[in-house]
Chains A and B, each alone.
Chain A
Amino acid sequence: LTSSQEGAADGPEVIDADLWVEQADYASLAPYLSRAWREYLNLGGVTNVAVNGERHGLPRSMFWSPGPAIAALTGQPDAPIEVAAYLDRHNIGAAVLNSGAALGVSSLANPRFAIEVARAANDWLRAEWLDRDERFRGSIVVPARDAELAAAEVRRLGDDHRFVQIQLAYPTARLGERQFDPLYEAASEHGLPVQLLAGAGYAGANRGVAGVGHPATRAEYEVDLGLACQPHVMSMLASRTLERHPSLHLVATGFGISWIPAFIWSAERALPSGGATSNFATHVRVTMSGASISERIGELLSLIPDAEEQLLYGSGDQRDEDVDPLAVADALPSAWRGGVMRGNAASVLLRPATVGS
């Protein structure tokens, strides 16, 4: 496949920083797992998938339910062709594919197993997707419970420019904890942002995003996620993580965006050393995926200086072919559109091709 502009709409190409495609599972990852781990999972033998189904599926959040376009891609052998055609139709010049693997990986309790699944998911993405279309980009999925193993995986793949970020789904420790330093060092070495992905909090061995118990409905879950990014970002600001790793970027995905002003005001007031606003502006990017976009979103975010430079367009996990994925641009102030739909992602995510990658 090659990038094609024929029939595409006019205007600069869009970068989708969070395009959910076929969701990886043990079945798709099996060829990339070692024989020992395939046997551990009993893949290929008689399965009892209907009973206590976690055994033969990557753990998923109880509440997560992909949009129709993503569900339709699962199990389709020509899924990459369909996604390439989607990029053609909407004049999308580059897309960071989200295989959902990070959600399962972060919810596996065993770090040695989690790194094996992460490695398989990354190899699968590279072979079955990134090699198929030059517009496809990927995330290096890493386990959330062992930063040394995560760092090793980053170093294994970090020279391939098509991997544009490190994907960490909702970890059980705050991102400012020192345990994450090895991962941040590897990220900084390769100039790769760390993406904090919402959505694994209620999967597998993870125990949710709040201490007061679990949601009973998807509605509660969705709203809870809007709050769930803040402890991680605050922890990074308060623990001086960003001073120890001055080139690090954090990309927050799936948490929405309307929390940003309230968070910055609170953080600025709470941190005696100040700097919350500027550190946030320098180091944090937030994808539009998972956001409720009202036509007054511009008014809200204009309360924060340069907020438009922190937003990245992302179509997210509820994508529906019947809904124009780029309509979100219409809700943005016109001066923001170039940055949000392309420029911000181009500067933080895209890396020049390196020889041999």
Chain B
Amino acid sequence: VFAAPAWGENVTDVQRIIDVDVHHQFSTAAAISEYMPEGIPYQYYSSGAGIPHPHGAFRHDVKPPSGGVPGSNPVHVGIDHLDRHGIERAVLMPGSLLGLCGLPDIDVAAALARATNDWTMTEWLPVDERFLGAILIAPRDPEQAVEEIRRLGDQPRFVQVTSNTLPCLMGDPSLEPIFAACEEVGLPFTLHLGSDYGVTQSAWPVGSPQSFCEYHAGVVLQAPYHLISLITQGVFVKHPGLKVVFNEFGVAWLPFVMWRLDMEYRAARDELPWLERMPSEYIRDHVRFTSQPLEEPDNPSDLASMLSLIGGEDLLLFSSDYPHWDADNPKYALRGFSDEAKHKIFFDNARKLFDLDARLVRAGVAGAAV
């Protein structure tokens, strides 16, 4: 077991880092089968988007020496990623089932989500105290998703509930029980990037992209639609304790959405009588966005300048997306942001969002000094 270093106040001037998006992977497709119940066949089908990644989805330099796909060996992830970059805590996001929401059979999908969470709990969290978990759910059956949130909601090492893509817009009433359960157990709901797998709606109703570049540049544009739906449908009025994270969708579109939502709301607020505040205020209080893949204008400080117009330093969480091909190295990410903004984005925003000071103590992984 890798024992976590002491949590608590920073005693050095080294930037403290929480990485909210590290993908842990099944070493083989069969790795999850032992966690599946009898009678539900192991099925792992993903029809994908028909767009292969030109060089593979993973970095080629992070394969574990023991073999298997990158991100499949917990000890190696600790050494290769957390040690290397001085990352104090990392949220493990199941990377082998990015197509889970697209599985047609909702019972198989729900069973795979449970199995994945048990696998995280059994094979990952005990290995390294720096690891935190995310409760994977299969959202096409909200009832089973709620059961899973409640089953694990009081496990302090699980810091959020997550799904890769959704079967409908985020403000759709069918997701209501899932948000209610997240609020009940006090965990943020994180929507991770993913689309066009299996039976999920395509992010491109006007026609499929034809190259990976086209796909990857445009796939983030589903996030504004989800965010607009989430705000206008009043999800945060119904669930004042709920937090939502958009993971891996970029952020440069955010000022546009906040300004435009406020503008439209001013013109047509009687259409949305349930909203009590300006749309952008709900976003600031309830929604966070992960950094990777951060847009890269020619002058890195231009992005920081633009985000400062909306108070972006309070809304971002650092994520690496390790071990994917486009993973961000914290040494080079967030160039152009001030030291104060970096401290918030690398560390303090996630610390507050996940209530880590209390949670790590409850979990017994706060390190010796606390």
Residues on A facing B (Cβ under 8 Å): 40-42, 46, 48, 50-55, 59-63, 107-111, 113, 145, 172, 202-208, 213-217
> Smallest CB-CB separation from A104: which chain B residue?
B50
Contacting residue for B210 out of A48, A55, A111, A214, CB 8 A: A111
Are A62 and B48 neighbours in the complex by a CB distance under 8 Å? no
Residue numbers in A under 8 Å from B70 (CB-CB)? 48
Indicate which residue in A51, A107, A203, A217 contacts B26 across the interface (CB closer than 8 Å).
Answer: A51
30 A-B contact pairs sorted by A residue (CB < 8 Å)? A40-B54, A41-B52, A48-B69, A50-B29, A51-B25, A51-B29, A51-B69, A52-B48, A52-B96, A53-B44, A54-B46, A54-B52, A55-B57, A61-B47, A62-B45, A62-B102, A62-B104, A107-B50, A108-B50, A108-B51, A109-B49, A109-B215, A110-B51, A113-B52, A202-B198, A204-B47, A207-B202, A215-B199, A216-B106, A217-B105
Q: A48-B57, A48-B58, A55-B57 are in contact. Are A63 and B48 (CB under 8 A)?
A: no
How far is A59 from B47 in the complex, measured between Cα atoms in Å?
6
Q: Return chain A residues, CB-CB under 8 Å to B46.
A: 52-54, 62
Interface residues in B304-347 (C-beta closer than 8 Å to A)? none
Task: Give A50's nearest chain B residue, CB to CB.
Answer: B29
Evaluate whether A203 and B69 lie within 8 angstroms (CB atoms) in the complex, with A46-B63, A109-B209 already known: no
**Given the complex of chains A and B, what is the CA–CA distance between A204 and B26 in angstroms?**
23
Q: Are B106 and A54 in contact (CB under 8 A)?
A: no
Can you list, as one digit per residue, whether each of B213-248 has a CB less than 8 Å from chain A (1) or not (0)?
001000000000000000000000000000000000
Beta-carbon contact of A109 and B208 below 8 Å: yes
Contacts of B45 in A (CB 8 A): 53, 60, 62
Q: In the complex the two chains form, is B51's CB within 8 Å of A52's CB? A: no
Which A residue's beta carbon lies closest to that of B49? A205
Task: Check if B202 sits within 8 Å of A50, measured CB to CB.
Answer: no
Let me know if B210 and A109 touch, CB within 8 A. Answer: yes
9 A-B pairs with least C-beta separation: A204-B50, A54-B48, A205-B50, A214-B199, A50-B29, A205-B208, A109-B208, A110-B210, A109-B50
Most buried by B among A54, A61, A172: A54
Let me know if B122 is at the binding interface, CB within 8 A.
no
Across-interface contacts of A204 in B (CB, < 8 A) = 47-50
- Closest Cβ–Cβ distance, residue A143 to chain B (whole Å): 11
Min distance, Cβ A350 to any Cβ of chain B, angstroms: 34
A214 contact set on B, CB distance < 8 A: 104, 198-199
Given A110-B210, A216-B106, decide whether A203 and B52 contact each other with a Cβ distance below 8 A: no
Do A55 and B49 have beta carbons less than 8 Å apart? no
Distance of A206 from chain B, by nearest CB (Å): 7
Contact residues in B for A207 (Cβ distance below 8 Å) = 202, 208
Residue of B nearest to A108 (CB): B50
B148 on the A face (CB < 8 A): no
B contacts, CB < 8 Å to A: 25-26, 28-29, 44-58, 63, 69-70, 95-96, 98-99, 102-106, 196, 198-199, 202, 207-211, 215
Cα A42 to Cα B210 in complex, Å, equals 19
Q: Are B50 and A203 in contact (CB under 8 A)?
A: yes
For B51, give the chain A residue with the smallest CB separation.
A109
Interface pair A60/B26, CB less than 8 Å apart: no
Chain B residue with Cβ nearest A63: B104
The answer to whether A55 touches B25, judged by C-beta atoms less than 8 angstroms apart, is no
Partner of A62, one of B106, B198, B207: B198
| Residues of chain A within 8 A of B57, CB atoms compared | 48, 51-52, 55
Assess whether A217 is in contact with B47, with CB atoms less than 8 Å apart: no
B198–A50 touching, CB < 8 Å: no
Identify the closest chain B residue to A173 (Cβ): B207
Given A61-B47, A109-B208, are A55 and B52 also a contact pair (CB < 8 Å)? yes
A48 CA / B70 CA spacing, docked (Å) = 9
Which residue, B26, B55, B199, has most C-beta atoms of chain A within 10 A? B199
In the complex, which residues of chain A have a beta carbon less than 8 angstroms from the beta carbon of B199? 62, 202, 208, 213-216
9 new A-B pairs (CB below 8 Å) besides A208-B199, A213-B199, A217-B105? Answer: A50-B29, A53-B46, A54-B48, A54-B52, A59-B50, A109-B50, A109-B51, A205-B49, A215-B104
Distance from A278 Cβ to chain B, minimum over Cβ atoms (Å) = 35
Instruction: Identify which of B48, B52, B209, B210 gathers the most chain A CB atoms within 10 Å of its CB.
Output: B52
Bound complex: CA A63 to CA B46 (Å): 10
Most B C-beta atoms less than 10 A away, residue of A41, A51, A52: A51
Q: Which residues of A contact B47 (CB under 8 A)?
A: 54, 59-62, 107, 202-204
Chain B residues with Cβ under 8 A from A172's Cβ? 207-208
- When distances are taken between beta carbons in the complex, the residues of chain B under 8 Å from A61 are 47
Q: Which residues of B contact A63 (CB under 8 A)?
A: 104
Query: Cα distance A113–B49 when bound, in Å?
Result: 14
Separation in Å of the A201 CB from the closest CB of chain B?
10
- Which residues of B have CB within 8 Å of A107? 47, 50
CB distance from B41 to the nearest CB of A (A): 12
Contact partners of A111 in chain B: CB under 8 A: 210
B210 contacts A51, C-beta separation under 8 Å: no
> Once the chains bind, are A55 and B69 in contact (CB under 8 Å)?
no
Set of chain B residues within 8 Å of A53, measured between Cβ atoms: 29, 44-46, 48
CB of B261, distance to nearest CB on chain A (Å): 28
The answer for the CA separation of A54 and B51 in the assembled complex, in Å, is: 8
Least Cβ–Cβ distance between A83 and chain B, in angstroms: 27
Known: A50-B28, A50-B69. A59 touches B56 (CB 8 A): no
